[in-house]
Structure 1
């Protein structure tokens, strides 16, 4: 079904194999080599940057050393929640961003070698951290925060079931299902959090596990009631002018409804409406990228950096960009944003862990719920790496994005309010 292509993963080959670590290091390169990638090879820049970002989380989880090695830095205003929730944050968010890339089939390119290494480590890491007495055991039992990051882990499995769910050990799968079910004793807050409950139940539904019907429906129903128009949902009854429509609302609304549609629980018209709204929001996101490749640091959670563009990235991955927005202009715009943000000293520490801040290192800008693990929402802007290198998104020549055209006195499309 066309509507569900984005949650289906391509078949994988060669799940087993030995990869020479020296070969991986040589391909990944050091920080200076990453900065020197040519503008004409955006995909190389993207995948090396994503590998740099994700590998500390994934490789340490695979080695049972995430808790040991991840620097657990919290906001200066961090609240009373258990700081250990940060490890689940790092895993759920990072995995959700890398999932489409890891779902591509193996090949013998430089990219393919890195991708296979990361995928095998990702599987090994999940098997490890859900094993009894694991030193990296993830917290699902305390606080409300695990509701959030279980949802990103569920979204991971929806985005790459063949690559990241099916290869897991049976005991790992059972442990994950039990962990997800255990969250039912805590209610999500009346905000975008309702979608966290919905998508977790949607994943359980997708694998044939009995789901909580009320929890599944509450998120998609309430957020629909809170729709404000022109592609914007309220975060609760009121509109919040921040990036939560992208961090959470549009992607999880569409992904949840896709599962419900596949199971005959909603009509196609409802999914189509949610997708149209996400497309409208994505169009606005592309226009918010300045000619210089910057974007407004507005609202909460700006330490999630380019995770702010998840909605635009997912629409590109789904090949559902609005007709007035070309894949090449989205790629070019997001590449420039990434260069501006991630080439700035201080964004990563010496071991390539993300540091608190927006553009660079600035702990003071972090919110009261923010810690090291929270920052891996940034991977969510890399979703188009799930498109093969031959896809137009990557193969088309670089193109000016809307604001760059507008401020260069070039022709660009008009924009109007929409009523759906």
Structure 2
């Protein structure tokens, strides 16, 4: 059996640029080979960490220095319809750190991983300060265009995922600046689709830090998302169903995160939250089955340039120890590792300076949508949420395991699938 040519990965103490992108699709990940990272002498966790570090460093390092606007490229999808300079920087930073947050929330330690985590956390914190400081060259736009509502929601999700690591350490002036910017977003009318959740996430975060909030926005989002449930784990994105990955990019993760805050603050129904988790589990069960034996998945629908963010529900459930019955943490780990290798080792996924480029697997600008720019791509970090689990968690420490499609297509026993009615 041919083995993949792995990228060379520097020790965790290194920073961005340590890895060079590969040139071919993963071809050695079959039903009989589930942990090819061993061939490179690294663990799956080390692979995920180095890759997340490579993706995130250009964004958070530049943001911490006030040079994001100076250095980040402004690649745009065909027919791009926004004012890129007004939206792409908050997109990049808010989306990127929302995926980093669970890992940055782990306790400090003196391991090589811990040292890198501490450095990136300091950069993220300084970047947050710069982003809401009107005197900073990287002061982010929350007040014009509609897009900032979207990416402010990811910033709020960051704080909700790591309050002790990324909210509490901020100085009072920065906190006040953030609250002020978030309340300005109320002037933006959300679209009648998944955008209702962005408005609701902002209000849920304000509630979580005991600030004045608008219950109507969370109530409307809750009622409409429930109304748009299409069945078998899928929500419609608005009144009309679209077959795409928005259940992964936005709907399941943000809906459950918002409901969790409402329940914790005694402002929402635990029954609503429990139902949303069950539906998210069903969706994730189907997602896991859609990962092919070689670690590819169907390229369909809008926003395919968001890459690994499509699998956010699956890894978020793993992070919270809520995976559906019959899905072992190790099979999710191995499946996600295979997906990451296919995407991020392909030549062209990164440019020569280490920034992500438009595409799914490599540089494919033709697949980008009219709202997609360089900053949009950093939502992919939300496929790395399981790094918030410590190295000793079974997700990382259990032996490699085959995912469902590998079992199916190598003639092994699997669990029968059937639709659900909740």
Q: Give the TM bin, normalised by the shorter chain.
A: over 0.9
Q: Whose RCO is larger (CA < 8 A, sep 6+)?
A: 2
| Residue from 68, 75, 78 that aligns with 2:80 | 78
Q: CA deviation at 1:214?
A: 1.1
* Cα separation, partners in 2 of 1:27 and 1:62, compared to 1, 3 Å: closer
The partner residue of 1:138 within 133, 137, 140 is 140
1:34 touches 1:49 (CA, 8 Å); kept in 2?
no
TM-score normalized by the length of structure 1? 0.92
Partner residue, 1:389: 391
> 1:88-122: CA deviations, max 9, x gaps?
00011001000000000111211111111100110
- Matched ranges for 1:160-309 at <5 A: 160-309=162-311
Indicate the residue corresponding to 1:314 in structure 2: 316
* Aligned CA distance change for structure 1 residues 44 and 25 (closer, same or farther; 3 Å): closer
In the alignment, the residues of structure 2 paired with residue 268 and residue 182 of structure 1 have an alpha-carbon distance, to the nearest angstrom, of 30
Q: Which residue of 2 aligns with 1:66?
A: 68
Deviation per residue, 1:67-93 (Å, 9 max, x gap): 001011111210144432000000110
Q: Quote the Cα distance in structure 2 between the aligned partners of 1:178 and 1:27.
A: 34
Q: Contact conserved, 2:16 with 2:57, CA < 8 A, in 1?
A: no
Aligned residues, how many? 399
* 1:201/1:211 contact within 8 Å kept: yes
Question: Structure 1, residues 340-395: CA drift from partner, whole Å, max 9, x if none?
Answer: 11000000111211001110001111100000000001100000000000000000
Aligned in 2, Cα 1:396/1:241: closer, same or farther, shift over 3 Å? Answer: same
Alignment match, 1:355: 357
Mapped to 2, the partners of 1:31 and 1:323 lie a distance apart of 36
After TM superposition, the score normalised by the length of structure 2 is 0.92
Distance 2:16 2:374 in 1: 23
Report if the CA contact (8 A) 1:127-1:172 is conserved. yes
> How far 1:219 moved relative to its partner?
1.1
User: Which residue, out of 357, 371, 374, partners 1:372?
Assistant: 374
CA distance in structure 1 between the partners assigned to 2:369 and 2:321 by the alignment: 34
Does the residue aligned with 2:274 lie in a helix, a strand or coil? helix
1:11 is matched with none
> 1:29: Cα distance to partner?
6.8
Q: Provide the C-alpha distance between the structure 2 equivalents of 1:80 and 1:255, rounded to a whole number of angstroms.
A: 28
Shift of 1:32: 4.2
Q: Answer whether contact 1:34 1:45 (CA < 8 A) is retained.
A: no
Correspondences of 1:41-52 after superposition (within 5 Å)? 41-52=43-54
How far 1:24 sits from its partner (Å)? 6.8
Work out the CA distance in 1 between the residues paired with 2:325 and 2:319. 15
2:131 to 129, 132, 151: 129
1: CA distance between counterparts of 2:97 and 2:88? 14
SS of structure 2 residue aligned to 1:228? strand
Deviation of 1:266 (Å):
1.8
Q: Deviations over 1:255-283 (max 9, x none)?
A: 00000001112221111000000011011
Counterpart in 2 of 1:4?
none
Q: 1:361 to 1:24 in 2, by over 3 A?
A: same
- CA-to-aligned-CA distance 1:122-153 (integer Å, 9 cap, x gap): 00111122123210010111111001000000
2:363 match: secondary structure: coil
d(CA) in 2 for partners of 1:217, 1:335: 38
Segments of structure 1 that go 5 or more residues without pairing to the other structure are: 1-21
In structure 2, distance between residues paired with 1:330 and 1:26: 27
